[in-house]
Chains A and B, each alone.
Chain A
């Protein structure tokens, strides 16, 4: 079939028009009658129409460019004498292809591996080939041979390797149900190969089952020495160079050693570690970091921090894993109990020594590991010694001195508290949260954690957190000992009160800690005491003292590594205090400084990282920098989930703040989901009784923005009732205003009007004069007048709102409400038939929003601005521009507030997206 010439096409074109205008049956009749007059033409048309039927079936061009089918890729291309056949792998290493030698000299199947172009660097091709030849030295029966290395015409370096047809070693063992001894023997072959590479100064760095194949004949073959770093040996300096700059990143996290994750030097000990993991998997069927899916964060944490369980413990059957344990044992031709006993002792010890976090504590060489396994097979005593309990315990206490003290305290207090007090339902979640916090303090003391968790969980024995803290206070007071540790414990108790919103108690305890700390000379407890007190004082009326205390604390702390955590603590408290005072830039700076400090510090604490992240995000939010805040909230939430804290009260707070940022950024559809999750966390399967009124009111606001007015009214009323009950003034004011707005939208004007009247005195009580809240109130009231049809009054109020806001902005206040106020005035002006003014306001609103918008994402605020602007343009007779504006409005609104929102529908209709065929 050939392409049509332009002339042919032009002569056929009018007939195609006719044919395509007809339905199927009509078309056949038409074509038949045409055939009688002009058979050649009809035949050509028939072919084209058949082609049309086919392409319609394929859905040709129906999906847009992103959905075009993928090309066959590189298949069929040649590289030197090799022709690529099919892709056989794609991973951290790069892509690998099966290829065939095609120059006819001899037939051979090979694997071609493409390497990163960035690897070339200076010296390019020549250097690559030279280093390839060093890899070629690795001739060993258990290592896949490097056949060739080169650079493709397109500049892509590649390696040609022996093609190995085989199974991953773990699958090979499982499928053949090899017992422990056979597995160890097979593993020894792997060790021989790696030892050979090490002798040639080549470290593998990416040992894992998919790189260790076993052929059908039982022969082990190691793949992928391609990314190995050539070690600089004595006397070889300068000759053996680093092959890949990417090497540090080209690894598989599951088999990565702690030093790789920490970015430390990679040595032969790195391979020893990976081999330890591989042995662990072969023996137990599970990864040392535990079974199941891991988030990368979990995995990294486990590899760097957590001692893995002994293999014998891993295979021991428990109620929870009985099935898995049996499966794994069967694959090793035994029962779970027998397998456990086989591993207990020497194999436990050998694996533990290979898996030491500190490279220097591991086997000194792969050969040493092989020797011990050989001794095990021969029933001789092995060289490695098991860790004693005392050794482990001492190591733990060194690492977690304070944490142990606190956990012990909590432990004692919990026992004391379990005696007989009753628990209120709403306290349950706080206790759970408290337990999680304890957990984070003393992560490693597993049985303590278990105790706290099971005891403090909602279904556990009853006690209140206040009780617990009260007893803790008593115990501290009874304690003899140095004042520094008393100060630390008091701070810890005070912070607990603080987070339980027991502000008065928090201030009392922290004041005591502060006074006590004045008699100390160590900077750490002194600074902590000032900063903790500062944050407690900031909640009261004495805001100036709060800032003074923070600065005092920060001054006490010179920038020394051992004081890093204290500095972080003070910076985070300082950020909180600055936020409370509206000094949002200072808040951002402090939180950011804390985050950076943690990053550069050798101390690794994901919990602290998380807290710093949350403070950075919240500071951005308070500053109105939503575009910056949202991604940080998201990041914090991911960390929170990965630490297993996704259901704590802190997570609820995070979700609330994040949702609020999304909401204010004009993305209520997303905000709604997060608020919902926050409410679910707070309600913990019970009623929504325990949910904070602030959260309820925030949720009501989002529902209102989504035009779900009836639900919004319910939540706003509940927020109002709860706020009244607990005398929370700010929420009372906010929920009153929210109810007024909702009733106005529901056209219950009398009620709305009465409620707006209530808001004004509340604002006067709660806010300083000149606050943006007054401007917003005027603007809200202008909408009420607009709805009532009092256009003049509406315009007056809209003007009043803008005048007030401009004054606020002039004196340094936030300007984020400006676009909203402009849009509203635009709508009013339009109704008053002032389209020019309306267009100007809407256009200004739109451009203000564009400057803060996140490029490329939708925003309900922008959608509304475009809608207002479009209407004004339409009134001005600018049809084309109006349509463009409506089109934009429709897309923004559709994504931000949903397709069924009345404004979305209006925009779609105005943009003529919903018109019927004419």
Chain B
């Protein structure tokens, strides 16, 4: 599966739509395996972050597939978008649980109910990001890495081999775009 991932990345970057889809499917199932157990776990004192999950996934796959595996920056770019999808799915799922669970008497888990994200807001954000991805893909990827996966500016700078200031400037730009987009939608 690891070799397919590198092959798929190549094909996807060459403009092969089907390959891109397959790549996302493959990454999704791999990350899902790791992230699901993570995101599903609440109540543990401290849980691993999405960032660490991505790194462990990368390390895992790279160690298994050898030198042909794509570089980390490219991998993270794809994986971060997949992670965004996972987080939104999770929020949806929670939303469903929240509704289904109305009648549970148990006082447990009110905290996670409070913290539950409104999945619709996330979906909206995701749509805005997809649009941004059409105009400036690097900005969209940056938001995936920073907002959804918790990467630091320093880390993204290293990943992209640019200065941290550049990353920060791009982040501000992306925020302007998304804020404008989401606010416009809300005021409809």
> Interface residues, chain A, CB within 8 Å of chain B?
1-4, 6, 9-10, 13, 16-17, 20-21, 48, 51-52, 54-56, 60-61, 64-71, 92-95, 114-119, 156, 227, 244, 246, 249-252, 296, 670, 843, 854-858, 880-881, 883-885, 887-888, 891-892, 895, 911-915, 917-918
Contacts and interface: CB of A to CB of B under 8 A. Distances in A.
Contacts of A887: 51-52, 55, 155
Contact of A858 (B48, B105, B172): B48
B154 A913 contact: yes
Contact of A60 (B48, B51, B120, B175): B175
Contacts of B154: 912-915, 917
Contacts of A94: 102-103
Given A858-B46, A891-B49, A884 B59 contact: yes
A373 B48 CA distance: 60
B29 interface: no
A547 to B, nearest CB: 38
A68 B169 contact: no
Contacts, number: 183
Q: Which of B63, B121, B163, B184 has the most CB of A within 10 A?
A: B63
Contacts of B178: 60-61
Interface stretch (B5-13, B19-27, B145-153): B145-153
B68 interface: no
B158 interface: yes
Contacts of B38: 855-856
B140 interface: no
Given A670-B45, A888-B52, 14 more contacts: A6-B134, A55-B175, A61-B147, A68-B118, A68-B122, A71-B118, A843-B63, A854-B44, A855-B38, A858-B48, A884-B56, A884-B58, A887-B51, A912-B154
A884 B55 contact: yes
A913 B152 contact: yes
A416 B101 CA distance: 59
8 contacts: A1-B183, A52-B172, A60-B175, A65-B91, A65-B117, A68-B117, A92-B103, A118-B100
Nearest to B42: A856
A888 B122 CA distance: 27
Contacts of A117: 99-100
A917 B135 contact: no
B34 to A, nearest CB: 8
Contacts of A10: 135
A880 B62 contact: yes
A163 to B, nearest CB: 19
Contact of B63 (A1, A881, A891): A881
A741 to B, nearest CB: 27
A16 B103 contact: no
Given A857-B46, A918-B164, A116 B102 contact: yes
Given A13-B173, A880-B72, A891 B52 contact: yes
A912 B175 contact: no
Contacts of B163: 917-918
The 8 tightest CB contacts between A and B, nearest first, are A116-B103, A71-B118, A94-B102, A917-B164, A880-B72, A92-B105, A856-B38, A884-B55
A719 B136 CA distance: 64
Provide the main secondary structure of the chain B interface.
helix
Interface residues of B, number: 68
B179 A64 contact: no
A888 B59 contact: yes
Nearest to A48: B176
A119 B173 CA distance: 49
A880 B161 CA distance: 12
Given A55-B175, A246-B103, A884-B55, A3 B184 contact: yes
A13 B185 CA distance: 21
B44 to A, nearest CB: 5
Interface string B123-157: 00000000000111000000100011010111101
Contacts of A114: 99, 102
Contacts of B107: 296
A884 B176 contact: no
B64 to A, nearest CB: 11
Nearest to B113: A90
Which residue among A1, A13, A68, A858 has the maximum number of chain B CB atoms within 10 Å of its CB?
A68
Contacts of A843: 63
B121 A21 contact: no
Given A855-B37, A857-B47, A52 B181 contact: no
A657 B103 CA distance: 38
B105 A913 contact: no
Contacts of A246: 103-104
A61 B143 contact: yes
Contacts of B165: 21, 917-918
B78 interface: no
Contacts of B16: none
A659 B165 CA distance: 45
B187 A857 contact: no
Nearest to B44: A857
A740 B91 CA distance: 51
